[in-house]
Chain A
């Protein structure tokens, strides 16, 4: 077992939260930071946006030639760990590279609402966060200015935003059609905001085409991802990033403080990295996996788990796709440089009228190219594109032969879709645990997910399908073609499994992400979320990580005392 120099800070995971945390803390002169990342660097090899004759061609060929992975151990990238989702109706989409899930997310950018932080007080469900929207707001603004966000300011679904915005894209044809429906009903809608540049920012180039290379990393560095925005500077300031490093456990000393990690390096050797402060940033499944596997005499149920809450309160965003047929007008994409719509019309609770607590969020667009239409996929935002390696279920390609061209015209030019993200309240039935019957290559246990839909969610789905039908008909749809859960899993975003709270008996970390049980252990990824909201999470997740990073930076002298 090799030993390495003691780091001041050891970060587990280089993704959305780990990247911004490393970047911010590396500003402290002389600090020694080590990050262990189980994946590798992923370098997009081609400027897909310039692919001829159509940017979709390169990405679709890649999807076609990527073999579907086995059910066990399915990962977006290599060197992953196995997971069993036989007791869950969705499978996770996990990032396993430098940058984590930011490599394959679509960079849709939306803040939580103030009510998301006080769900128990307002709506009687879940728990309250130990912080409010107003505690996070300065970091929302700070982060937006760092990563570059394109969109329109003035959205009345959120408090006024002070951060800068780059030029928004125009609405695409599908979004224009749906806007008509929202407008007719007097419902809220807004152009999709994205953490994708429309103007240069530093050395990063703008996105010319929404070329749909998002799920493999942006070759123009236009999309906010940790490998592009945070890691170059962090590395230039001396952060050590070790790839293909699979962490088995966090170690503790006799005083019950975290003192490092045991991991398998790229050659499969068990290696020890000592540290004064340990930060978990391995996502809502990877973080509980490591903590639960970090058993000791002092922590027989897993590190920092005296509450028994690690792995519990698992939340995700179940999603539906609803597609409408618009026979009398064309929704065919004219160009790439366009955006879709979001709607917060039903985001906030109205249980007396709707029969469920909390709400859902719309994310809508049309096709960006013809291949997806021919393959029978419903039109969906690029944020909802499932990475090629996870395509276990297929949509049915369009008919062939003499029926083909008419079917294609209907699909490509006359269908518009919307995705709906639902807020699922934390449930006792929804959790993740270690599964020692399945192990990765290094013998580290995999995980098993347990996830069931609540009655609240079922009522919400029924209401949402009815309202969406109403909206599509108001927009001019002649019929609803399909209304179904998102294929290949039906849920995104991993949250809640080491949640924040003021009460150590039902939370794992405090308002600064600091473990109640272990004072030099922090958790900064989606595990710390207390509620899911129904908007996309990366803006909130990275803002929280930046806030915690600021706290650690301001208190580093005390926190890093040996």
Chain B
């Protein structure tokens, strides 16, 4: 079964940010008051007004449940893949369970060099239709893809890991606390750590 990946607007030039290109499409459509069907969101269209109101294409897309690059089928498959790449364990959530697909979709919108390699991997996973119905089967397929296409697979891992370890839920599980707005001066260097060093005297050659 082929993954639906519709494209209703022409692809931008490779050196144009896809996000900016789509914003220009939105702006043009907003002038006419029409809704716009975006590439990668075959089943949904994002009202231009929503983008204009929020000023953020990704936020509007997420709010509308649409993706910028992934089709709905691709997004669903990617969530499954993400949960195999980083499965849930203890307090740590699975990557597919925390909306990582939206993060990666946004990355692919901004990074032309990552788009095709990751979409190609999804195509390869989809082609192994029968095998990937189980988790273990999907692992085996991913392992084969990693061996056959190491650079593309590494790109996908980097995208997933970056998104996962930037996520609030994951950082919370790791015990991270944001330092806050201003410089934290409550802690300072414990000078006792340096007493021995200072006591040994100068170690430079005085010339």
Give the chain B neighbours of A64 by CB distance below 8 A.
107, 111, 114, 158-159, 162
A402 CB–B CB distance under 8 Å = yes
Closest approach, in angstroms, between the C-beta of A82 and any C-beta of chain B? 19
Query: Are B203 and A374 closer than 8 Å at their CB atoms?
Result: no
A370 within 8 Å of B by Cβ? yes
* Alpha-carbon gap, A56 to B167, bound state (A): 11
Q: Does A168 contact B (CB under 8 A)?
A: yes
> With an 8 A cutoff between CB atoms, is A188 at the interface?
yes
A506 contacts the other chain (Cβ, under 8 Å)? no
Contact B188 A348, beta carbon cutoff 8 Å: no
State the CA gap A113–B202 with chains docked (Å): 12
A186 close to B (CB within 8 Å):
yes
Q: Is A348 touching B204 in the complex (CB atoms < 8 A)? A: yes
Given A53-B166, A375-B158, A402-B87: A208 in contact with B181 (beta carbons within 8 A): yes
Asked whether A53 lies within 8 Å of B171 as measured between CB atoms, the reply is: yes
Given contacts A61-B107, A168-B188, contact A188 B197 (CB under 8 A): yes
Contact B86 A344 (CB under 8 A): no
Q: Contacts A53-B168, A65-B110 given; indicate if A335 touches B205 (C-beta within 8 A).
A: no
Residues of A within 8 Å of B168, CB to CB, are: 52-53
Does B158 contact A152, Cβ atoms closer than 8 Å?
no
Contact A198/B183 with A54-B178, A179-B193 known, Cβ cut-off 8 Å = yes
Interface segment among A13-21, A155-163, A251-259, A425-433: the answer is: A155-163
* Contact of A170 with B166 in the complex, beta carbons under 8 Å: no
Q: Mark A41-80, 1 if CB is under 8 A from B, else 0.
A: 0000000001011101100110111111000000000000
- Residue with the highest number of chain B CB atoms closer than 10 Å, among A54, A117, A183: A54
> B86–A159 contact, CB under 8 A?
no
In the complex, B24 has a CB within 8 A of chain A: no
- B205 and A169 within 8 A (CB): no
A-B contact count (CB 8 A): 178
Known contacts A191-B189, A397-B161; decide if A114 and B204 are in contact (CB<8 Å).
Answer: yes
Contact: B188 with A167, CB < 8 Å? yes
Report which residue of A61, A345, A373 has the largest number of chain B beta carbons within 10 angstroms of its beta carbon: A61
Interface residue from A158, A171, A398 paired with B193 (Cβ < 8 Å):
A171
The proximity string for A residues 519-553 relative to B, scoring 1 for CB distances below 8 Å and 0 otherwise, is 00000000000000000000000000000000000
Q: Determine if A115 and B174 form an interchain contact, defined as CB atoms under 8 angstroms apart.
A: no
Tell me the chain A residues, 463-511 only, with Cβ under 8 Å from chain B: none
Closest-CB distance, A85 to chain B (whole angstroms) = 22
In the complex, whether B5 has a CB less than 8 A from a CB of chain A is no
* 8 nearest CB pairs, A to B: A57-B166, A374-B161, A65-B111, A206-B183, A67-B113, A370-B165, A208-B183, A53-B168
Can you report 25 A-B residue pairs in the complex whose CB atoms are below 8 A from each other?
A54-B171, A56-B166, A114-B205, A133-B207, A152-B194, A154-B194, A156-B201, A159-B202, A167-B185, A170-B187, A170-B190, A171-B190, A183-B193, A208-B181, A208-B182, A336-B179, A337-B179, A339-B189, A369-B165, A371-B161, A371-B166, A374-B161, A397-B161, A404-B85, A405-B89
Q: Which residues of A contact B (CB under 8 A)?
A: 50, 52-54, 56-57, 60-61, 63-68, 113-115, 117-118, 121-122, 132-133, 152, 154, 156-159, 167-171, 179, 183, 186, 188-191, 198-199, 205-209, 332, 335-339, 344-345, 347-348, 369-371, 373-375, 394, 396-398, 400-402, 404-405, 412
15 extra interchain contacts, Cβ-Cβ under 8 A, other than A56-B166, A374-B165?
A52-B168, A65-B114, A133-B207, A156-B201, A157-B204, A159-B206, A170-B190, A189-B197, A205-B183, A332-B175, A335-B177, A371-B162, A375-B158, A400-B142, A405-B86
